[in-house]
Structure 1
Amino acid sequence: MVNCESSRKNENNWDHFSIKNILHAIALVLTFTAHALHALKAESIVVAELDCPESTTCTTCTKKPLCSWSVELQACVNTKLLRAPQSNLQQLIIHNETRCPRFEAVNKSSVAGVSFKYTVRISNDAEGSVTAFLAGSTITCCIESCDFRGSVVDDSIVCVAVRAPRSYFADGATALISYIYVMIGDRKLRFDDDADHYYTIYDRDCPATSAAEANDCATCLWTDGGYKHYLKSCPTGDPCTGPYWVYDKRDADGNEKLRFADDDLVRVRCAEIGILSVRPLYAPRTGSGTTAMTITVRNHRMLAENRTVTVAVAGRRCEDPVTYDDQTITCSVPQHPSSVAAASSTFAGPVEVVYTPTSSSSSSRSSSTMKTTRFALRSSETVGFVDPETISVSPTCGPASGGTKLTVRGRFLDAGNAVRVSVVSTESETTAETVVMTCDTVSRDRHTIVCRTNATVVRHRENSSYRYNESRSARVKVQFDGGPIRYVQSPASWTVCAAGDAALDAGQTFAGTVSGGTAVPVRGIRFSCLTDAQFYVRDRDGGAATYQHAAGCRVANDTYMECRSPDMQHASSSVGVVPATFPDFGVRAWYCGEGRASDLPVQLQLFRSSVVRSPFSLYADPVYVDFEIRDGAIVISGGPSSTSGRGYAVPDVTVRFGNSTGACQVTSVSRHEIVCRPTSTTAATVLDHLRRVVVTVGGDGGYACDVHKKITEHRKDGRGGKLLLFAGVTLFSCCRDVAIVSAAVLLIASIICVLLLRAVTKNRYVISVDT
């Protein structure tokens, strides 16, 4: 009997293979086909993107991948598109730059009326295959028209002799330039150097030695807009031509000479005749001054002979151009008023120099078409018209004697040629500003100007220094090219320090606490020019070791600074007994703008050989035991042996509420107590619940302690205990019935939960067994 189940199973498998697998195979074939078409398309795109025909010489062609040079076609072709070369032409396909044949004109000049043979030397043809191919080809030499035969002689192509009649020089020209090329069959022979196509015929005999020495001539070849351009210019001192200009414009292949109008503008783009540099690259956009531009042009003096020079900078006319030397032009660009500058949309652009023939140039011996032709040079660099910004200056002060190195920072600070920095002041809004001191420029770049101040040019008050707190009183002023003026923005004021060093007043006393941070007032003279001032105290451990403790100072004005007492918690063992005194202390600071730091002397030391000053007094940190509320004020009491109130003052103390928000202003400090009053924003209920305050002496990092409210003792009364006991019994009696009912409910609920849990567990067990 046939096993139907087995047959059906095989049938299902076959159906699955025949449908799904065949579809899968078809999909794979389509995918591979698509990939192949994509690869073929990509390859064709690569071939198209190679653009081998754009290369017109063997050297440039073989530098490209997949490009080869055909000597037979004198063209660059795609290597993959080449047909299988015939054996006799196999070596005429060049794949490597080093195997490219070289063609070079042997002589490039002759004299009118004398016959000459244009000769091209063949080189880099070790196997002679290229020479043999040329020898078997039809060679035609072309001078404006193709009507001269040529042939291969040894390793050169020699054209038949031709002669230029002297009648060609009737217009007074001293030289003629002819374009000569060689045809191999119907293909133009490609030279590596296009200059070999240009042949010069002089109106006089010019020995080769003289021509070689006449290296002042400039020759330019460039391609622009699908045209080939040739320009040659010689100076007045050239022994062969004298002052001479010739310009030739042809189609891209060089076969057709193009005519142009006499007043055409020719834009020259080559290395021999071009703008080398332009300075400055940034100029003030607005103002009432002018910016001097310096433009360096190769062969400028020769180009400028018998020609008028005009210069434009980013579209703005540069006035009064002057030739400084053989290659330098200087001119001035006027700054525009703000209204005119705002209307202009051009803020940057290249420099363009245009050479236009003058009327006297008609007597020169250049070709007649050159008498009115203008030539323009354009710079690769651009000049931008900008608005300089002076953002900051450091340091912010300096001595009246000068010598401070100022550094001004900002944007476009290299705009223009000249910059002048000065410190100016005005006594009032109605008076003109006065130059306090000048600052000689040391260096500058895009973002910084560095200058050094000179001595002040105004009189200063005796034993003081000018502190200009208002922006109109004293500012650092920067002026660019005599035009736009900028004042430093930060800081807006600058300090000129009077002659002499800073000093401390005599007779002052200084004190602090062990934890430090308390205010130490310091008075003296000439503080305005101090920076990074520190109040220090030195102590010794009984031996040779010396320890210094220091804290910072803030200069308020020329005669007052506020220092902080240093932290003396880690001082030597002598601090264990306080109060203590330290005779070795003082203020050390840096002098702004001078780069030196020193201790400030006491003023009387300037006149006496020795002066005794009070030592620095150090007191223990205060101790506070409790506080109480009196008439709405918080009174914090010190201990019986406390030194509270010594070494600090009201501004050094702050009081914070320990368990609530609110502020308390300290009104008085004495040896026994601190009094502070809550501010108007503090709620009245805060004081009723206040149990703790935090007292800080010396600010952050200083001394802090918790002070609790004083406990007031009340009279004992036994009736209170009896009353509490009675209340407890009464509460139990009232709540007894409720408690009993609650306990019963909880017991019944517990029993029900246990029964339900057992039932669920049993059901689960039975199901597990049956399964």
Structure 2
Amino acid sequence: MNVARTRARGTGGGVADVGWSWRTVSSGGVKYVMPGQAQALSCGGGGASLRSGVQGEVQLTIRTLPELPAGAKYQCVWGSAPPADALVTATGLTCMTPARAFRPPIPPHHDHVLVPLAVRSSETNKDFVSRNFAFYDCSRHNTCGSCVRSDWACNWCVYENTCTHNASSCRRTVISGENNPSQLASHGSGFCPRFRQEQTPLLAADGAKSELQLLVENLPVPRVGQLGFQCVVSIEGATMLVGARVVVEDEDEPEGGSSSPATTTSSASRPHHRRVQRVVCEPTVYRYESGEGEYEARVTLVWNRDHVVDARPLTLYKCGVLGAHRGHHDCSLCVTRHPRYRCTWCGAACRYAPHCPSLPGVAAAATSAVAPLPTGAHHQEAPATASDARLAQCPTARIDVIQPLAGPLEGGTLVTIEGSNLGLREEDVRDNVFIGDVPCRVHEYHVSVKITCVTGPAPTQGGSGGSSQDLQFPVSVTTPAGTTKSTVKFTYTNVSVTGVWPTKGPVSGGTVLSVSGRFLNVGSNVSATLDDLPCVVNKTQSSSHRLVCVTSRMSPSSSEGGKEGAGLPRTARRLVVQVDSAVRVLAEPFTYTPDPRVFELKPLRSPWSGGRLMTVHGRNLDAIQAPRITVLLHDRILNSSACRVLSPGQMECPSPHVNRQVLMALMRERRDADAADGAKAEKRASHKVSRSPRQNYADSVLLDVGFIMDNVASVRNLKHVLHSSARTSLLYVLDPTYKKFPNGIKLYKGDTLVIEGVNLNLASDESDVNVTIGTRQCNVTSLALTQLVCTPPEGQPPPTDELGHATDTGLPLVVVRMGQNLRFAIGHLRYEMIKEYQFPPEAIGGMAFGGLFLVLVSMVILVVYRRKSNQAEREYKRIQIQMDTLESNVRSECKQAFAELQTDMTDLTADLESSGIPTLDHRAYVMKVFFPGVVDHPILADPKLRMNGCSPAMDSAMVQVNVASLLVVALTGRMEYMTEVLRLLLLRLIDKSVATKHPQLMLRRTESVEQAGPSLFLLYKAIKHQVEKGPVDALTHDARYSLSEERLLREQITHSYVVSTDGGRTG
């Protein structure tokens, strides 16, 4: 018997140990034990329960029940029901169960509800013990299995198809529950009509007519007037009612006995074969709309329309989805599916085999589609030769995804290749994956759709040494169907590390380091270490030029002397960044400093809205890059705010905002939790000083303060370091409230400005408050509990708010800011000061503006005049300088030209005098004038004796010309006669020309015998001498002393005369 002990006061005032036990006496009740109760009552063998619709008695058996004082009673307390007096019996106590109105309803999908039952003494009004009591309802079960396996005394009526506690209500077959003390002949779930447990998975192809076969046992035989069996198939919320028939067959009994519990009682008389019941659902087409490859439907076997026998899952599948990856049909994935799916590749897609009429043997496959497969037949693997034959029909591989697309030159990158038709087995692709010509070692393989391989080092350039340039290669995969190369290329990159920031951090670690470099986000595995201390890489915040990692704590053994803080600061000798197989080292990148410490925090008051600037004094505060101040409730962070480091010993932090309602709810929750534990409540009551949070009065709470400084744990809560609560706690008080000006506008008459409010100085002083009038400051001179006094500027500020935005009223806005979080718009301020002059300010402004305008116009005119004068003077001086320069240049050139002319004339005359004018002798001159082109003529020969002979006629033009020349030479002394002859010849030619239409030529040559050579020679020599006395361009023939302006060489070229010699002779 389970016994729980409690203490009760006896009649004599002493204390006695009393043993308790209880039992129910109502019909239909069972004993039930609830585990896990530290102190509980016991009922007979273990617990208590009662049918939910029954009100009965619960009897508690007590071995030694102490007597109560006069007038005191024992009471039974049922949950929230009023206490009921217990009846003292000879064996203990008897309690009545509460009325149904005080019982909670049984939740849906449950068959019981638990109600706590406690025993109480009216003298002390305290509960001795408590135990859960169960009220159950058997009718909540609608199947035989759940009914008989329940924790209560339930029975299943087979033909009534109901679960009940009263077995006598069943007319025919009754199966008693496994927890029912009254065990009938049919006891336990082994006698329930159900499916056999050793069946293979039930499969049906989507869109194919399938015949479902279900192995069952203990089926009832429908009586007269009852309907037979039917299969109810539930698919995506819809149900199908399919007719069914029962087939009874003989099956050999396997050695080891039957699995049915119903036959275990007569093993001695067990036959060697048994009758097997099989339910066959009519052939039906099943479909589902989901895009998944498999969908789990449910088949429920019912009889007599609503009597449920059992239910089991039915797997519907689509070969088109099972044989596809990423929306693409995959032949290799299709043919490697388990043979039970009967998927095959045909028509460039994966299909259910009976739906492929072009395949051989389909007729047999279609026939077997509705025939039952033997048990275990679905799990037989296809022979390897059959797989190879099916693979021969598959297309080449296709590569869809390569991840990552870059890695270091040293290799070691884990590359994932996804696609389709990537082989049937790992052996198909092993040693057949390459990046360019570099093998990629297969690390992991998923049939047909995914290959994970490790890259090798990049090929070297030039045959020696490593490559420092980025290299790109396609990824190729070779399968028995062929080789496929990716269109996207994998890049080998040269990873580099150039720097790190920050360069120091606390010894506790947690510093976020930013490592700069190139290609730091490539590869599959990136790690970093500071000497031998790991730096945890955050890949989500890293990029190609930035690697983010968090430093780890440096253990005391890592520092000198093995003591924490000894040998600090300590500089890490190197930062090692490893990207796959690439290792890069940075020398002396980081310094470990002692953890920061906090000595003082002030001020120690803050409004609920926070934002008050507090000064923190400590040591090594600059080792943290982003410190934050926190407020805590029982070591639970309520809120935080960012701090600003001013120096290694000082920083500024705004007080965090605290939600008052949330804080109060957390405090109430903590008080309720503490009140549940009586021992803790008494302990708290014995102490007058409570721990955080400390509530001094209704509107203020004292909260602990801490700091988030990387991984430094010593400052997480200052109360664990600075034990004085006066320096480690922050008092949160009510926010100040500043009242607005009446009607939104206040008149200012030249005195101080007073702003009314409430709780103005509870958590602030003059330095925390900032008052602005428009964009001008109002100097705060006094801050009291209900008043703020400040001195406005002498003149009325512009009509704006503190940010410079114009107001609607045309007056400056008065704004009070307290800290960083509180802002109060008080209203608008209008200046009404005593005026010394009655002259309208508009007129004064107009006059001032007019005078200013005149002054500006005069200044502009003066500036323009001065500018024009200076410009004219500068222009005059510039022209004068140019004229002087030109005059000087002309003077110099004239002097030089005159001198050169005198020299040139002297040189030319001397040259002509020395060389003279070249002339021909008389003989040569006569030949060139009268007989051009004739070298030798008989007339010039020596006279000889002429012999008689014949000469040819003068029929040649050349001969005629020569005769004419000879006649002219002969008649040179008789010019009158020669002229007459020429006149007669001319008249004859004229007459002849008149008679004919063709003109005639008399004088074929008209050379002058005048001597023109000397003048021409002198002209040639003069021009040549003039041109050649200066430089001449060899390509363009432009000359410095050219006679033509078009051929004048205008550039000043430094030149010198060169004398050419050839063989010692002057050229």
Q: Give the TM bin, normalised by the shorter chain.
A: 0.3 to 0.5
Ranked by relative contact order (alpha carbons within 8 Å, sequence separation 6 or more), the top structure is 1
Structure having the higher Rg: 2
More strand by share: 1
